Amino acid sequence: MTNSKLTETLTFECETGNYHTFCPISCVAWLYQKIEDSFFLVIGTKTCGYFLQNALGVMIFAEPRYAMAELEEADISAQLNDYKELKRLCLQIKQDRNPSVIVWIGTCTTEIIKMDLEGMAPRLEAEIQTPIVVARANGLDYAFTQGEDTVLAAMVQRCPSNAPEQNQIEKKSLVLFGSLPTNVATQLNLELERCGIQVAGWLPSQRYADLPVLNQNVYVCGINPFLSRTATTLMRRRKCKLISAPFPIGPDGTRAWLEKICSVFNVAPINLIERERLIWDSLEDYITLLRGKSVFFMGDNLLEISLARFLVRCGMIVYEIGIPYLDKRFQSAELQLLEKTCSEMNVAMPRIVEKPDNYNQIQRIRELQPDLAITGMAHANPLEARGINTKWSVEFTFAQIHGFTNARDILELVTRPLRRNKALENLGWNQLVKM
């Protein structure tokens, strides 16, 4: 592909949607840990349960605060009363765990049999006196991380609209949305504090009881690219003002994110450029490994645009950005930054493939022979056996990748296959399948 011409603008394509990704119910894995007093009840079949059990591996043994409400044949054929069944299970959960909120995760099956979860939840909530939030995170409509989006969009409705004590209604405040491990959230809070901006709250908060105040004076900003429904809900239902910024992934993204927020709040960021430069300097050992190397994103978690933008800035060439779903409005700032980065780094604009077709992508990977393919676990081992370096995309979802502090973690992940395979490359065992 080195001979390919520089294209001026990003190209967008859409394929068949035959690609591998995780089911969006997987969001319970990180959300139940984030929201400490919650309980997630996934209303689905054995298939959903087996997925959670296998995808989330060891966590299942730590008495997780999530469970399946496993639908049986009698539920499907409506011989049992949904409401009574859910009431029975929720009472049991209340008795065993006493959570502050129960989140019902609707699945494909509840969609198909048209189980009215949104209708039942308020009735049951009144009856058992525990809030019930309904999120339809199913594989019919969404991919992987979009599950979090549906849960957060549902949580928006539960946020208070007035501050309880002080009357700060006139003052504009900042709420960040997106689930991050607490220490990463604190890091971002501190970055903003250095700029003189106080974060009023996070959606989601550590505890359900601490959900942030949302009203027309609140500015909201997303920290992850897959939160477009949440953004829409915040704007339309709570009249919040959305700050459209690139996402704080990589030092370039973090700086752009901070600058955009600062500009909205009319404050001049101090030392940001210097801070970014210091971070880049500290990454130099990893960037040396990446410069001039090519990368192919098969696409499965919606972080792809931001990661690609960061890697282009690191000196990589991006051949293709596969992505399950692209909200061009929500990601507009990020797309602009990608375009700008590509022209500044003088590399070809990557093709962005929405709803990719894994089979076709593998043919393209064969032709292009990228130095690195970022892909799901279903394809990683087969590609490695064919001499293609791979990094599992799922790790980017679970690793800490936000802010200045964690830029090194992203590169740690990206360079790991290159570092490992560098040690092995002279052994002559790169092709491990019979051709």
Partner 1 sequence: MKLAYWMYAGPAHIGTLRVASSFKNVHAIMHAPLGDDYFNVMRSMLERERDFTPVTASIVDRHVLARGSQEKVIENITRKDKEENPDLIILTPTCTSSILQEDLQNFVNRAGLDSKSDVILADVNHYRVNELQAADRTLEQIIRFYLEKARSESNKPLRKTEKPSANILGIFTLGFHNQHDCRELRRLLTDLGIVINQILPEGGSVTNINELPKAWFNLIPYREVGLMAANYLQNEYDMPYVAVTPMGLLDTENCIREIVDIVKSSDTSYNFDFETYIDTQTRFISQAAWFSRSIDCQNLTGKKAVVFGDATHAASITKILAREMGIRVSCSGTYCKHDADWFREQVDGFCDEVLITDDHTQVADMIARIEPAAIFGTQMERHIGKRLDIPCGVISAPVHIQNFPLGFRPFLGYEGTNQISDLVYNSFTLGMEDHLLEIFGGHDTKEVITKSLSTDSDLAWAPEALTELQRIPGFVRGKIKRNTEKFAREKNCNLITLEIMFAAKEAVGA
The footprint of partner 1 on residues 228-247 (CB under 8 A) is: none
CB of 53 to partner 1, least distance (A): 6
Q: Alpha helices, DSSP H only, in 209-347?
A: 228-238, 250-264, 272-282, 284-290, 304-313, 332-345
Q: How large is the C-alpha radius of gyration of the chain?
A: 23
Distance (Å, whole) CA 144 – CA 376 = 11
Burial of 181 (0-12, 13-18, 19+ CB in 10 A): middle
Q: Exposed/middle/buried for 316, CB within 10 Å: 0-12, 13-18, 19+?
A: buried
Region binding partner 1 by CB under 8 A among candidate stretches 63-71, 149-157, 263-271, 408-416: 63-71
The residue from 1, 10, 55, 287 that contacts partner 1 (CB under 8 A) is 55
Cis before 164? omega within 30: no
Among 15, 36, 37, 111, contact with partner 1 (rule: CB under 8 A)? 111
Residue type at position 39? F
Written as one string, the DSSP assignment of 361-414 is HHHHHHHH--SEEEE-HHHHHHHHHTT--EEETHHHHHS--BTTTTHHHHHHHH
Our finding on whether 72 is near partner 1 (CB under 8 A) is: yes
Torsion of Cα atoms, 212 then 213 then 217 then 220, to 10°: 20
Q: Residue from 4, 7, 92, 98 that binds partner 1 (CB under 8 A)?
A: 92
Among 7, 8, 88, 239, binds partner 1 (CB under 8 A): 88
Site for partner 1 in 143-172 (CB under 8 A): 143-144
**Can you tell me the distance from the alpha carbon of 267 to that of 57, in angstroms, rounded to the nearest whole number?**
46
Q: Write out the binding residues for [4Fe-4S] cluster.
A: 23, 48, 108
Tell which positions 1-20 bind partner 1, by CB under 8 A: 17-18, 20
State which residue, 19 or 257, has the beta carbon closest to partner 1: 19
Identity of the residue, 91 or 163, whose beta carbon is nearer to partner 1 in the bound complex:
91
Residue 119 found at the interface with partner 1 (CB under 8 A): no
* Site membership for partner 1, residue 432 (CB under 8 A): yes
- Look up tokens 């570092």; give the residue: 419
DSSP-assigned beta bridge partners for residue 104: 41, 134
Q: Based on CB atoms, which residue is closest to partner 1, 76 or 287? A: 76
Q: Is 424 in the site for partner 1 (CB under 8 A)?
A: no
398 binds partner 1 (CB under 8 A): no
Total residues at interface with partner 1 (CB under 8 A):
62
51 belongs to the binding site for partner 1 (CB under 8 A) = yes
Q: What is the largest CA-CA distance in the chain?
A: 72
140 interacts with partner 1 by CB under 8 A: yes
**Binding to partner 1 in span 168-187, by CB under 8 A:** none
- The label of the residue with tokens 């009215």 reads 116
Region binding partner 1 by CB under 8 A among candidate stretches 38-46, 125-133, 262-270, 274-282: 38-46
- Tell me phi and psi for residue 368, to 5 degrees: -80, -25
- Interface ranges with partner 1 (CB under 8 A): 17-18, 20-25, 43, 45-47, 49-51, 53-55, 57, 60-61, 64, 67-73, 75-76, 80, 85-86, 88-89, 92-93, 108-109, 111-113, 138-144, 359, 362, 376-382, 385, 432-433
